[in-house]
Amino acid sequence: MGATRNAAKRLTGSERRRQIVEVILDLVSRHGVQGVTIARIAAGAGVTQAALYAHFASREEMLRAAVEALYERVAEVITSSDEPDVMLRLRNIGGFHSGLVSSGTNAFIHPLFEFLAAPPETGLREALGAKQRQVIETFAAIVEEGKAQGSIKVDVDAQQVAWELHGVYWAEDVSHLMGLTEFVTSGRSAIMLERLLASIAADRHSR
Amino acid sequence: MGATRNAAKRLTGSERRRQIVEVILDLVSRHGVQGVTIARIAAGAGVTQAALYAHFASREEMLRAAVEALYERVAEVITSSDEPDVMLRLRNIGGFHSGLVSSGTNAFIHPLFEFLAAPPETGLREALGAKQRQVIETFAAIVEEGKAQGSIKVDVDAQQVAWELHGVYWAEDVSHLMGLTEFVTSGRSAIMLERLLASIAADRHSR
Amino acid sequence: MGATRNAAKRLTGSERRRQIVEVILDLVSRHGVQGVTIARIAAGAGVTQAALYAHFASREEMLRAAVEALYERVAEVITSSDEPDVMLRLRNIGGFHSGLVSSGTNAFIHPLFEFLAAPPETGLREALGAKQRQVIETFAAIVEEGKAQGSIKVDVDAQQVAWELHGVYWAEDVSHLMGLTEFVTSGRSAIMLERLLASIAADRHSR
Amino acid sequence: MGATRNAAKRLTGSERRRQIVEVILDLVSRHGVQGVTIARIAAGAGVTQAALYAHFASREEMLRAAVEALYERVAEVITSSDEPDVMLRLRNIGGFHSGLVSSGTNAFIHPLFEFLAAPPETGLREALGAKQRQVIETFAAIVEEGKAQGSIKVDVDAQQVAWELHGVYWAEDVSHLMGLTEFVTSGRSAIMLERLLASIAADRHSR
DNA sequence: CATGAATGAGGGTTCATTCAT
DNA sequence: GATGAATGAACCCTCATTCAT
């Protein structure tokens, strides 16, 4: 809470870039994209406003770098689960997502939706879409893996499942942003996920 | 299409208010909440900037009125369908929503998500949540109506269904905002909706 | 000297515009075009920086208005001489110009040359050229008048004379700007002018 | 054409100085004195901004060095003509100057006038004046040479002629800068020069 | 009910320059 | 001799809002 850290001075270029991006993601979740002002970034990073421009050509470029970094985090989460059983893995990821939402850890979801609502002319939304499409592909690949290992029915449409999984995640996100916390906390979102998973599980997995 | 540029002068108070709110909703969908400046509203409504303050105490109040108006529109859509069969009615509403999204008619979805991403301190998100909760209640009531008329299984959780329906709608919205149009246009969102409807349909309706 | 006047508040639009333009011309001659900052204009006019933008769309527009005003002054000087004899009139105008230069009254020449050296992309130079061409035409018309009244040889090329007159004026200006005051003060520029006038004078006027 | 973009590394001090000055003169003619930023100079010279300060104490010193270099070029032009007949030589120089102006070769005139309009406090204008006075002396000396060789009337005032010659040059420059190209291209400036030369030519040279 | 003129705070960006390495 | 990171002041401009008329 508050401005992150009053950075030690004299970082190398890439260190500073990374630090600035972190500050931005923090600011995005607390103030929205429009609230990410150069003044706030500079204060958060502990440097002058002018110093920011030694590392990024413009505010827009800073925001673009933040989107990039955000999806790197997302990718980490997805690939970090080493649960071999795909059904369990999907359940874990879902649980992890619900946990993020209800814990108020605003490192992922909030920034993502703030970027989503960025002014059309910034192109941030398109950048987001491109990244998100990759994530959906990743999920589809996981489903295919499940089909190969026999935990998921062979006749399910992997892409379709990937989209519907995101339907659950987005519903959790949106409801959370609106302050409608009951959707996640009272287990409704978990039920929604389970209904989806049940419909794709191979027979031996059905519960 | 576009803002109502040159307003007739000397409108009565409530007429002017309504007109201003319409201008705001148009501006929100085109420029985002942050892009709704007093200057743009005034230009769109054909009045002086100062004149706006005769009708609203502040910009925030104008935006709040716009959220209000937005949900009035939503309510109209929901209640306007007079299809007696609830299952068909839900299918119609779903189709209507998909149509809105894919047609690029930005009168509903875009503003809604822009408000959703408004800075936390504006309280716009909470206002949105309160309204949205009412909408979900309305959907739950419709489901109950379906149960009463026998088109929906009596043991389904109406609230749960209402939330999951919104899961579909939000997924359509989010994907559209990200430029991932294929989710709606290639019928995936329709499949998602159908799977939900099939799971609640009374036996004689199952397809 | 110093910032012109701490303007009384609440002027009407056109009054304020006029006042701002005057401030700009003063600033141009003291600091050059690049030294005409929004901050200095505002201070000189006794208003906020933002107030300037209620009257002009941008700094460039302010400068353009200043060029316009400058040439209005020039036109006034040219047409204000009511000496009927054209040869005398030209001599008077020349004397007036020399006087301006050597007196250090920087209301005309200095601004003009500052505008002349404005960055190419501002279009200020072209605006200047268009105005200056009109002035040259005016001088050519005066020469024609002289031919009609018999004080100037009928076979002289009026346009050529107008250009050469400006050659004298510009030489006075340039030398003055460079600090080479002797050209004007020791009468060399007057000799240059006289040689030109002598070459066009009808016989009865030759000296 | 354009700045020497990618400089070879490790030049000796004076080589680097010379190169930097050339870059500056190019920048002056393209962007004006105010457009000569340290960033642009560094980019043009292919070195870091900080590196410039190893060769010059400040931006002002760089500009002063550029003025110096500019007049070295001017001197070269004047003395390079080896035409023995002074009248012809003056005609050649005049033609050369007209050529420069109408060809748009901005290596001389443009920079000169940009320096001329530099902010008073820089002292650039005074530096310019001192140099220009030398040039005028040089022209006066040439006229004296003509008187000695018999091509120019012995009773002409050499200084006066030198000033008037500059009157022609400056008129060409100013008109060119204003975009009033017709003065040079339609031969008016040549006529102006010829009238001057005719008035000083010894009888055997009169045309 | 509406206006026209004005404000003060803050927006993003560029500037010439410094200094430890 | 040169670099990379940083500074602090200044740049032009836009914002929501006020108030006498």
Q: Taking a C-beta distance cutoff of 8 angstroms, is the pair C194, D166 a contact?
A: no
Q: Tell whether B128 is within 8 A of chain A (Cβ).
A: yes
* Mean predicted lDDT score pLDDT of chain B: 86
Condensed to tens digits (0 to 9), the pLDDT of residues B170-205 reads 999 999 888 899 999 999 999 999 999 999 998 764
The integer distance in angstroms from the CA atom of C38 to the C1' atom of F11 is: 9
Condensed to tens digits (0 to 9), the pLDDT of residues A2-46 reads 434 444 467 887 889 999 999 999 999 888 888 999 999 999 999
Task: Using alpha carbons only, give the angle D73, D75, D77 rounded to the nearest 5 degrees.
Answer: 75
3 state SS of C89: helix
Strand partners, C8: none
3 state SS of A119: coil
The alpha-carbon gap from A123 to the nearest alpha carbon of chain B, in Å, equals: 10
Domain A2-61 sits in CATH at 1.10.10.60
Task: Using alpha carbons only, give the angle A187, A191, A195 rounded to the nearest 5 degrees.
Answer: 170
Percent of chain C having pLDDT more than 70?
94
Range from A107-116, A189-198, C27-36, D78-87 carrying the lowest mean pLDDT: A107-116
State whether D183 and C163 contact (CB < 8 Å): yes
Could you give the dihedral angle defined by the CA atoms of residues B67, B69, B70 and B76, in that order, rounded to the nearest 10 degrees?
150
Q: Which distant-in-sequence residues (6+ apart) come within 8 Å of D112 by Cβ?
A: D70, D128, D173
Percent of chain B having pLDDT more than 70?
91
Range from A65-79, A91-105, C100-114, C126-140 carrying the lowest mean pLDDT: C100-114
Predicted confidence band at D10 (pLDDT cuts at 50, 70, 90)? low
Condensed to tens digits (0 to 9), the pLDDT of residues D31-63 reads 888 889 999 999 999 899 999 999 999 999 999
Alpha helices in chain D (DSSP H): 13-31, 38-45, 49-52, 59-80, 86-103, 109-116, 124-149, 158-177, 182-185, 188-200
Predicted confidence band at A116 (pLDDT cuts at 50, 70, 90)? confident
Give the phi and the psi of residue A201 in degrees, each rounded to 5: -65, 140
3 state SS of C39: helix
| Of the partner residues A117, A163, A167, the one whose CB lies closest to the CB of residue B32 | A117
- In this predicted structure, the answer to whether residue B1 has a pLDDT above a threshold of 60 is no
- Residue A112, burial from CB neighbour count under 10 angstroms (0-12, 13-18, 19+): buried
Range from A180-194, B79-93, C100-114, D157-171 carrying the lowest mean pLDDT: C100-114
Instruction: Report pLDDT for D142.
Output: 95
Taking the alpha carbons at both ends of chain D, their separation in whole angstroms is 41
State whether D163 and C178 contact (CB < 8 Å): no
Q: How many C-beta atoms lie closer than 10 Å to residue D165's C-beta?
A: 24
Instruction: Report pLDDT for C7.
Output: 45
State whether D167 and C163 contact (CB < 8 Å): no
The integer distance in angstroms from the CA atom of D49 to the C1' atom of F7 is: 15
- In this predicted structure, the answer to whether residue A136 has a pLDDT above a threshold of 90 is yes
Chains B and A touch (3+ CB pairs under 8 A): yes
- In this predicted structure, the answer to whether residue C205 has a pLDDT above a threshold of 60 is no
Alpha helices in B55-117 (DSSP H): 59-80, 86-103, 109-116
CATH 1.10.357.10-classified regions of chain B: 71-205
Fill in the DSSP letter of residue C35.
G
Dihedral sign for Cα B47, B51, B54, B59, please.
positive
* Mean predicted lDDT score pLDDT of chain C: 88
State whether B170 and A166 contact (CB < 8 Å): no
Q: Which long-range contacts (CB under 8 A, 24 or more apart) does B53-56 make?
A: B55/B13, B55/B16, B55/B17, B55/B20, B56/B17, B56/B20
Instruction: Report pLDDT for C54.
Output: 93
Averaged pLDDT, D134-158:
95
Q: Which residue is nearest to nucleotide E9 (CA to C1')?
A: C50
Tell me which chains share at least 3 CB pairs under 8 Å with chain A: B
- In this predicted structure, the answer to whether residue C62 has a pLDDT above a threshold of 70 is yes
Q: Which residue has the higher pLDDT, D99 or D104?
A: D99
Q: Taking a C-beta distance cutoff of 8 angstroms, is the pair D124, D63 a contact?
A: yes
B2: left (phi over 0), alpha (psi -120 to 50) or beta: left
List the structure tokens of C156: 């002289």
Q: Does the domain spanning C71-205 belong to CATH 1.10.10.10? A: no
Condensed to tens digits (0 to 9), the pLDDT of residues A141-189 reads 999 999 999 999 999 999 999 999 999 999 999 998 888 999 999 999 9
Q: State the Cα–Cα distance between residues C154 and C151, nearest whole angstrom.
A: 9
**One-letter amino acid of A40:** R
**One-letter amino acid of A30:** R
Q: Which residue is nearest to nucleotide F20 (CA to C1')?
A: C10
User: Residue A160: closest CA among chain B residues belongs to which residue?
Assistant: B188
Q: Tell whether B183 is within 8 A of chain A (Cβ).
A: yes
CATH 1.10.10.60-classified regions of chain A: 2-61
* Entry pTM: 0.83
- In this predicted structure, the answer to whether residue C206 has a pLDDT above a threshold of 70 is no
Dihedral sign for Cα D63, D64, D65, D71, please.
positive
Condensed to tens digits (0 to 9), the pLDDT of residues C75-100 reads 888 888 889 999 999 999 999 899 88
- Residue in B84, B90, B110, B143 with CA at minimum distance from that of residue B28: B110
